[in-house]
Amino acid sequence: MGDVVGDEMGAEILGLNLRNTLDDTAIAKIEDTLYRYAVIVIRDQSLDTGQLAAFGQRFGPLQPSGRRKVQNKDADNRVQPDTPNVNFISNIKKNGKNMGSSDAGIYWHSDLCYEEIPSKATLLHALEVPEKNGIVYGATQFTNTAAAYEALSDEMKTRLEKLMALNSFRYMWNKKAHEFGRRPALNPAELDQLTPDVTHPIVRTHPHTNRKCLYVCEGYTSRIEGLPEAESEALLNELFAHVIKPEFRYQHEWRVGDLLMWDNCTVQHKATFDYEPPLRRLMQRCTVQGSKPF
């Protein structure tokens, strides 16, 4: 593995060609670098779905997202039986159909936090980046949940210590349907078909760094267990506002060929919808299974 150029959060790893099979030492170094900087980029890569899956799998089993129907497709909307866990995020339509998820990352979130076993890492590879007159659009924003936790008052840390919160893919689905209008709202029977809600600790300990992280997000966290509804809502809104304060943030400006990886315990992320067709954005993605939050 080449040099690492990094800041407090966010680093670039130089000198790698991910089409080559890396040895275990290099993979372990990349994973250590990921935990140190939370968001890492390897530039100038050109990976197809199989190559992305092969690289992602070196960090652990790949995990299907809650929205299965947008998976398993390549850029021409063809099913990819060999890489079922690679999916596309894009605003491009082919034959009137979205090529992949067109509304991913509207709200701040941590990937697959609505699963019993969420993703430890996400890999997002830029194939097309919206650009006009030399200005690049469609950045991905990150916020550091460990720094946000550490900045809480002692009183708030104590208050949160034993609290658990509900994370819900179903809640997110209808929120997007109503507030963003890009998907149909589902009735209770239809919602029932989606991934069931899970509870996770609000203060999550990172399994590698041991840092405590705030594990509630605007996108998927619907309720704090054991609190009256109004109190739950007020506390969640306070935490959602706290976790995204500017001092905890980093923004990734994309270049074609970027392979970005992030640590879903240490950061939350959000897409920036500041471009429209004919500007095109096409990202290829997979997530790596982590461990049960504690």
Query: Among all residues, which ones are annotated catalytic?
Result: 109, 111, 269, 285
Confirm or reject binding of residue 115 to Mn ion (CB under 5 A): no
Q: Which residue in 81, 45, 44, 85 sits closest to 62, CA to CA?
A: 85
Confirm or reject binding of residue 104 to ligand OGA (CB under 6 A): yes
C-beta closer to ligand OGA: residue 146 or 172: 172
* 218 contact choice in Mn ion, ligand OGA, none (CB below 5 to 8 Å, kind-dependent): none
C-beta closer to ligand OGA: residue 176 or 285: 285
Confirm or reject binding of residue 140 to ligand OGA (CB under 6 A): yes
Q: Which stretch binds ligand OGA (CB under 6 A): 75-83, 104-112, 151-159, 197-205?
A: 104-112
CB of residue 110 to Mn ion, shortest distance in Å: 8
Confirm or reject binding of residue 56 to ligand OGA (CB under 6 A): no
**What does the per-residue mask of binding to ligand OGA show for 264-283, with x meaning CB under 6 A?**
-----x-x-----------x
The CA distance from 37 to 273, in Å, is 25
Confirm or reject binding of residue 284 to ligand OGA (CB under 6 A): no
Confirm or reject binding of residue 111 to ligand OGA (CB under 6 A): yes
The CA distance from 283 to 99, in Å, is 10
* 285 contact choice in ligand OGA, Mn ion, none (CB below 5 to 8 Å, kind-dependent): ligand OGA
Q: How far is CA 162 from the centre of its chain?
A: 25
**What does the per-residue mask of binding to Mn ion show for 58-97, with x meaning CB under 5 A?**
----------------------------------------
Which member of 31, 103, 111, 263 binds Mn ion (CB under 5 A)?
A: 111
The CA distance from 101 to 12, in Å, is 27
Measured CA distances, 187 to 8, 101, 173, 194 (Å): 44, 21, 11, 11
Confirm or reject binding of residue 90 to ligand OGA (CB under 6 A): no
Annotate 155-220 with DSSP letters as a single string: HHHHHHTT-EEEE-HHHHHHHHHHHT-SS----HHHHTTS---EEEESEEE-TTT--EEE---TTT
Tokens coding 149: 């936790």
Which member of 34, 62, 92, 124 binds ligand OGA (CB under 6 A)?
A: 124
The CA distance from 187 to 2, in Å, is 51
CB of residue 270 to ligand OGA, shortest distance in Å: 7
Confirm or reject binding of residue 103 to Mn ion (CB under 5 A): no
Confirm or reject binding of residue 221 to ligand OGA (CB under 6 A): no
C-beta closer to ligand OGA: residue 1 or 260: 260
Q: How many C-beta atoms surround the C-beta of residue 140 within 10 A? A: 21
Residue with token string 């701040």: 108
Per this entry, what is the length of the chain?
294
Per DSSP, what are the bridge partners of residue 200? 165
Q: Dmax over Cα atoms in the chain, in whole Å?
A: 55
Chain residues in the site for ligand OGA (CB under 6 A): 89, 104-105, 111, 122, 124, 140, 269, 271, 283, 285
